[in-house]
Amino acid sequence: KPVAWGYEGDIGPCNWHKYFPKAGGKRQSPIDIDTSATQYDGSFKPLRIHYDSHMCSSLTNNGHTFCMSVNSDQCNLSGGPLEDKYRLLQFHCHWGSDDTKGSEHTVDGHQYAAELHLVHWNTDKFKSADEAIEKNQGIAVLTAFIKAGKEHRGWNHVLSHFKDIKKVQGTSTVNEDFNPKCLLPENQTDYWTYEGSLTTPPCHESVRFIIFKEVVEVSSEQLAQFRSLCVCSSRKRDTGEDEHLVDNFRPIQPLNGRVVKASFQ
Ligand SMILES: NS(=O)(=O)c1ccc2oc(NC(=O)c3ccccc3)nc2c1
Ligand SMILES: [Zn+2]
């Protein structure tokens, strides 16, 4: 029977290690990026992000975030710090209860309103995502910070399906011509990268994070739509309204001597 975990109370991040021992490991995520301690690495080749847009995907509320599952073998990532080719598996976000918090990684202690994770698995080294998810070098997560600002039209293709997934386990099929590349910042040459973990249980230490320096803007109204998702099926709080899915970010974890590399000087 799967163990319940969440972001507050007894099942919150401080207790994850009791049922998910890797959560207490030495290369956990997220971390704070201290820009004075990052090391420029001139050896990185250009990042190659090739996504097609003719992919059918499904959007689900898994009770911890929304997850857009992608099943196209044409969405590939390679280059940069990566030695192998990785295939897009899903993307999701982390956010807060207001625009002042929500990202998992922080930059010089600054937390953004939300954080986008595009999750890829290593198709050169492993036969399935189920295998890659728990192996070193198995996963690469392209990450973009999100702040409140002007409206992002690309995000509306995803947000327009949110009414179908308000409740947990709600699923909606997305067939329209949508390319997740539109969710990334324009500047895809400046990024930080380090070796970490899944930021939710089971916290496998299998992830290479690639975090773009440029921050993406979405409107405050669009951020409010993230918060409209419900974390529980129909259980009403004693106050009678639905419990909303917010503050689904893990606190930052010890760096333990890891060095964050930068693709830029
Ligand atoms: N916040 S995170 O670190 O990006 C993160 C955290 C936990 C995750 O579990 C999975 N599993 C699959 O996507 C998957 C999808 C299909 C088959 C096997 C695995 N991806 C994750 C990403
Ligand atoms: Zn994530």
Candidate from 65, 71, 119, 205 with most ligand 1 atoms within 8 A of CB, to mutate: 119
Question: What pLDDT score does 72 carry?
Answer: 78
Give mean pLDDT, residues 3-31: 97
Identify the residues whose C-beta falls under 6 Å from ligand 1.
Answer: 89-90, 117, 119, 129-130, 133, 141, 198-200, 207
What is the Cα–Cα distance from 68 to 116, expressed in whole angstroms?
11
Does the ipTM surpass 0.95?
Answer: yes
Give mean pLDDT, residues 74-98: 96
Give mean pLDDT, residues 41-52: 95
What is the Cα–Cα distance from 99 to 82, expressed in whole angstroms?
33
Q: What is the pLDDT of residues 151-161, one digit of tens each?
A: 999 999 999 99
- Nearest ligand, CA 201: 1
Q: How far is the CA of 182 from the centre of ligand 1 (A)?
A: 21
Q: Closest Cα to atom 22, ligand 1: which residue?
A: 198
Q: How far is the CA of 35 from the centre of ligand 1 (A)?
A: 27
Give mean pLDDT, residues 59-82: 92
Q: Is 204 a catalytic residue?
A: no
Question: What pLDDT score does 176 carry?
Answer: 75
Q: Which atom of ligand 1 is nearest to the CA of 196?
A: 3
Contact call for residues 186 and 248 (beta carbons, < 8 A):
no
Q: Which atom of ligand 1 is nearest to the CA of 201?
A: 7
Q: What is the pLDDT of residues 95-142, one digit of tens each?
A: 999 999 999 999 999 999 999 999 999 999 999 999 999 999 999 999
Q: What is the pLDDT of residues 179-233, one digit of tens each?
A: 999 999 999 999 999 999 999 999 999 999 999 999 999 999 999 999 999 876 5
Q: Which residue has the higher pLDDT, 265 or 174?
A: 265
Confidence tier at 175 by pLDDT (50, 70, 90): confident
Neighbours of ion ligand 2 (CB under 5 A): 117
Candidate from 29, 71, 89, 126 with most ligand 1 atoms within 8 A of CB, to mutate: 89
Question: What pLDDT score does 85 carry?
Answer: 98
What is the Cα–Cα distance from 94 to 248, expressed in whole angstroms?
6
Among 64, 92, 117, 120, which one carries the catalytic annotation?
Answer: 64
**Does position 46 have pLDDT exceeding 60, yes or no?**
yes
Q: What is the pLDDT of residues 233-262, one digit of tens each?
A: 545 555 566 788 889 999 999 999 999 999
Q: How far is the CA of 93 from the centre of ligand 2 (A)?
A: 6
> In which residue are the tokens 């196209």 written?
72
Q: How far is the CA of 240 from the centre of ligand 2 (A)?
A: 30
**Does position 84 have pLDDT exceeding 90, yes or no?**
yes
Candidate from 67, 198, 250 with most ligand 1 atoms within 8 A of CB, to mutate: 198
> Which of 25-34, 130-139, 163-172 bottoms out in mean pLDDT, i.e. has the lowest?
163-172
